[in-house]
C-alpha cells in the first residue's frame, strides 16, 4: 500500500526562511513569558520534596488496617487477604478475645500478628477486594522506603497507624480488650 | 584616579589600561559564565520546564539557581583530568586555550562606552584606543583564529568522531567567514573607515540612521554567519549528539571541557558586541544626542545582552541544519546575498548617496 505524502507548497514568504524563524521565535517567547509568569504551584513540574502530587481517589498506596471508634481492629482474621495475595506477602496469626460489654461474653477472633512484607507487596489491591469486613485499605501514601530490609516488615500496629497522623487519630499500640487464652473444648 | 595610580606606582595611562583589562576580561568572562545559567533557565522556560533552581549559595539562599554556576565550576575543578593514551598531549592541553583566548580577545577593540575627558586626558572605553590601525579587522581576524581551537581539540584527541566534528565545524566557519566579511565590508564602505569608533559615530544617535535600517540585508547575512562562527545552533556542527557522539570535545573532561564550553559563551558575547557595534549604533543611546558615560555604557550593555539572549532564544527555536544544507546556505545563499548587498551599496554610493 502506497503512502501518499502530502507535499506542502511553500509561499515565497516561507522560502525566505527569515519570516518562519521569526514566527517560531514568537511562539517560543510566548511559552517563555507564560512559564515565567506562572506561579510555581501552577506549573507542570511538581517540585517533589517541596510539593507532592495529589493522588487520585482510587490510588493503591500504603495499606491501612481499619479500626472501630474505640480503637478495636476491624480485621476478624479470616485469612481471606492472605489467600488472595498473589505476592504472598501477608502473614496472619489469629487469637481469640472476649469482653462482657463488647462481645457479650462470646469469643471472637482477631489477628494477634498481621504482617505485610512491603518489599514483596505489589500493591495490586487484591487484599482490599477480598476483605469481607473492609478492614484493609490501600490508600494514597506512595513514599514507602527504608534504609534496611527489616524496616519494610510492617506489623499489626504499624499497619493500624500508617494514616493515624494524616487522619488526626491516635496512634495505637494496644487492643482495647485483652485476649483470652485458647481453651480446649470438652468433647 | 591619578591618586590611586600614584599609590600603586603606576602612571595614569598604565593604570587606566590595567583597569580596562580587568573590566573587559573579567566582565566578559563572568557574563559568559552567567550566560550558561541564562541558557539553561531560558531554555527551560521556553520548553515549559523550570530548569536548575536547586543549587543554593552556602546551602541557604536559592537566588533563582544562580549558585549553579559556582557549583558547576567547583565540580569541574575537582573532576579527574583524563588525557587519552594516544592523544597528542601538548596539543590536547593547548586546545582549550586556543579556543578560549581568541574568543575573549575579539572584544579588545570594541568601545563599550563613550570616551570622556578627565584632568586634561582623554579616556577611551575600549582596550585598544581608536586609531590603532586595526579597527574592526581585528575581531574578524581573531574570530578566524577560533577555528584553530576547535580543530586542534579535534585533532589532538585522536578520535575519529572528534575529527569529524572538528573538520565539519572548521569547514562551516571558514565558508561563512566570506559572507560575513563581505557584509562587514559594505559597512566599512558606507562609513568610510573601519575603526569601530568611526562606525559608531557614523551611525549617530537616531535609530533610523543605524546600519540595521540602512543595510537590513547585510544584517541578516552577518547575523546568520555569526551563528556559524560561534558554532551555535542551528549551525552547531562541531557537536552532534546523534551522529558523532559529542563532537570535537568528546575526549575532554573536567576543567578543559569547561574551558571549551566557556569559550563558546565568550564567543557569543563577543559576537553580540560586534552586532551591537556594527548594526545597532554601539554605545549610542537612541534619541539622546550627548549621553553621559554611564548611560552610554548601559546602552551598550543592554544591546549586547539583548543579542546574547537572541542567540539563546534562536537556539531553542530553530531546528538544526543538515550538513549539506548548511554548506548550501553558506555558499549559494549567504555569499550571493552579501555580494548583492555590497554591490548595491557600491552602486548607491556611486550615485552620490
Q: Which of A 5-34 lie inside 8 A of B, CB atoms? A: 18, 21, 24-25, 27-29, 31-32, 34
Short-list B307, B326, B325, CA closest to B174: B326
Query: Which chain B residues have a beta carbon less than 8 Å from that of A47?
Result: 50
| Close Cβ partners of B160 (under 8 Å, ≥ 6 residues apart) | none
Which band of pLDDT confidence, cut at 50, 70 and 90, is reported for residue B1? low
- Mean pLDDT for all residues in chain B: 85
What average pLDDT does this structure show over B19-41?
Answer: 87
pLDDT given for residue A187 in this prediction: 56
* pLDDT, tens only, B186-196: 888 888 888 88
- Mean pLDDT for B301-310 is 91
Predicted local distance difference test score (pLDDT) of residue A136: 92
Measured between CB atoms, does A35 come within 8 Å of chain B? Answer: yes
| pLDDT of residue A5 exceeding 70 | yes
Planar angle of CA A104, A110, A112, nearest 5 degrees: 130
Chain B: closest CA distance from residue A24 (Å): 6
Among B48, B313, B316, beta carbon nearest to A35? B48
Most trustworthy range by pLDDT among A100-109, B144-153, B245-254, B307-316: B307-316
Interchain contact A174–B (C-beta under 8 A): no
Q: What is the mean pLDDT of residues B302-329?
A: 88
Instruction: Give the alpha-carbon dihedral of B261, B267, B272, B275, to 10 degrees.
Output: -150
Q: In this predicted model, what pLDDT tens digit does every residue of B176-234 receive, in sequence order?
A: 888 888 888 888 888 888 888 888 888 888 888 888 888 888 898 999 888 888 888 78
State how far the alpha carbon of A59 is from the alpha carbons of A17, A131, A138, A141, A168, in Å.
50, 17, 7, 9, 21
Indicate the pTM of the whole model.
0.81
| A145 CB within 8 Å of a chain B CB | no
Cα nearest neighbour of B52 on chain A? A47
Residue A60: per-residue pLDDT: 92
> Inter-chain contact B317–A21, Cβ cutoff 8 Å?
yes
Burial of B310 (0-12, 13-18, 19+ CB in 10 A): middle
**CA separation (Å) from A78 to A110, A123, A131, A168, B297?**
8, 20, 8, 29, 82
Task: Say how many C-beta atoms besides its own lie within 10 A of residue B23's C-beta.
Answer: 14
Confidence of residue A183 (pLDDT cuts 50, 70, 90): low
Mean pLDDT confidence for B57-77: 84
The predicted structure's pLDDT at residue A65:
92
Contact (Cβ atoms closer than 8 angstroms) between residue B76 and residue B254: yes
Q: Nearest-CA distance from A6 to chain B in Å?
A: 21
- Cα nearest neighbour of B221 on chain A: A18
CA distances from B215 to A51, B219, B352 (A): 52, 6, 17
Q: Residue B50: closest CA among chain A residues belongs to which residue?
A: A45
Which residues are registered as beta bridge partners of A109?
A96
Provide the ipTM.
0.79
Which residues from B are below 8 Å from A43, CB to CB? Answer: 48, 50
pLDDT digits (tens, 9 = 90+) for A19-53: 888 899 999 999 999 988 888 888 888 888 888 88
Amino acid at each position: 500500500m502506497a503512502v501518499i505524502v502530502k507535499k506542502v507548497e511553500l509561499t515565497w514568504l516561507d522560502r525566505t526562511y527569515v519570516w518562519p524563524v521569526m514566527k517560531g521565535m514568537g511562539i517560543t517567547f510566548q511559552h517563555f513569558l507564560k512559564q515565567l509568569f506562572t506561579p510555581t504551584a501552577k506549573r507542570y513540574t511538581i517540585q517533589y520534596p517541596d510539593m507532592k502530587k495529589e493522588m487520585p481517589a482510587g490510588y493503591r498506596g500504603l495499606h491501612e488496617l481499619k479500626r472501630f471508634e474505640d480503637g478495636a481492629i476491624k480485621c476478624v482474621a479470616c485469612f481471606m487477604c492472605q489467600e488472595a495475595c498473589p505476592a504472598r506477602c501477608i502473614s496472619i496469626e489469629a487469637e481469640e478475645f472476649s469482653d462482657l460489654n463488647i462481645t457479650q461474653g462470646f469469643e471472637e477472633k482477631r489477628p494477634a500478628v498481621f504482617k505485610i512484607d512491603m518489599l514483596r507487596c505489589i500493591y495490586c489491591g487484591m487484599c482490599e477486594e477480598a476483605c469481607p469486613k473492609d478492614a484493609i485499605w490501600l490508600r494514597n501514601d506512595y513514599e514507602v522506603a527504608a534504609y534496611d530490609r527489616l524496616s519494610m516488615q510492617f506489623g499489626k500496629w504499624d499497619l493500624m497507624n500508617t494514616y493515624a497522623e494524616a487522619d488526626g487519630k491516635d496512634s495505637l499500640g494496644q487492643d482495647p480488650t485483652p485476649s483470652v487464652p485458647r481453651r480446649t473444648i470438652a468433647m | 584616579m591619578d591618586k590611586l595610580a600614584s599609590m600603586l606606582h603606576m602612571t595614569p595611562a598604565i593604570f587606566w589600561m590595567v583597569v580596562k583589562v580587568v573590566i573587559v576580561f573579567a566582565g566578559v568572562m563572568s557574563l559568559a559564565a552567567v550566560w550558561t545559567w541564562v541558557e539553561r533557565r531560558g531554555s527551560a522556560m521556553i520548553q515549559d520546564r523550570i530548569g536548575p533552581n536547586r543549587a543554593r549559595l552556602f546551602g541557604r539562599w536559592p537566588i533563582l539557581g544562580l549558585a549553579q554556576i559556582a557549583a558547576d565550576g567547583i565540580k569541574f575543578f575537582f573532576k579527574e583530568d583524563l588525557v587519552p593514551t594516544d592523544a597528542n598531549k601538548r596539543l590536547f592541553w593547548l586546545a582549550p586555550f586556543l579556543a578560549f583566548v581568541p574568543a575573549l580577545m575579539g572584544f579588545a577593540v570594541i568601545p563599550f562606552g563613550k570616551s570622556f575627558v578627565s584632568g586634561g586626558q582623554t579616556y577611551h572605553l575600549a582596550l585598544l584606543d581608536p586609531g590603532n590601525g586595526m579597527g574592526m579587522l581585528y575581531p574578524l581576524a581573531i574570530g578566524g583564529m577560533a577555528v584553530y581551537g576547535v580543530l586542534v581539540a579535534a585533532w589532538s584527541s585522536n578520535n575519529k568522531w572528534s575529527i569529524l566534528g572538528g573538520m565539519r565545524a572548521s569547514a562551516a566557519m571558514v565558508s561563512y567567514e566570506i559572507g560575513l566579511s563581505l557584509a562587514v565590508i559594505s559597512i566599512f564602505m558606507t562609513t568610510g573607515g573601519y575603526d569601530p569608533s568611526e562606525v559608531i559615530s557614523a551611525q549617530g544617535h537616531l535609530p533610523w540612521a543605524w546600519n540595521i535600517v540602512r543595510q537590513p540585508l547585510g544584517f541578516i547575512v552577518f547575523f546568520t554567519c555569526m551563528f556559524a562562527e560561534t558554532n551555535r545552533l542551528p549551525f552547531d556542527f562541531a557537536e552532534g549528539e546523534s551522529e558523532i557522539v559529542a563532537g570535537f570535545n568528546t575526549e575532554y573532561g573536567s576543567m578543559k571541557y569547561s574551558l571549551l564550553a566557556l569559550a563558546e559563551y565568550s564567543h557569543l558575547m563577543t559576537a553580540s558586541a560586534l552586532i551591537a557595534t556594527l548594526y545597532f549604533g554601539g554605545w549610542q543611546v537612541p534619541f539622546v544626542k550627548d549621553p553621559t558615560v554611564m548611560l552610554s555604557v548601559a546602552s551598550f550593555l543592554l544591546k549586547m545582552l539583548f543579542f546574547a539572549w537572541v542567540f539563546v532564544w534562536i537556539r531553542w527555536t530553530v531546528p538544526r541544519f543538515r550538513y549539506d544544507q548548511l554548506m548550501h546556505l553558506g555558499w549559494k545563499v549567504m555569499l550571493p546575498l552579501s555580494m548583492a548587498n555590497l554591490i548595491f551599496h557600491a552602486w548607491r554610493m556611486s550615485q552620490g548617496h
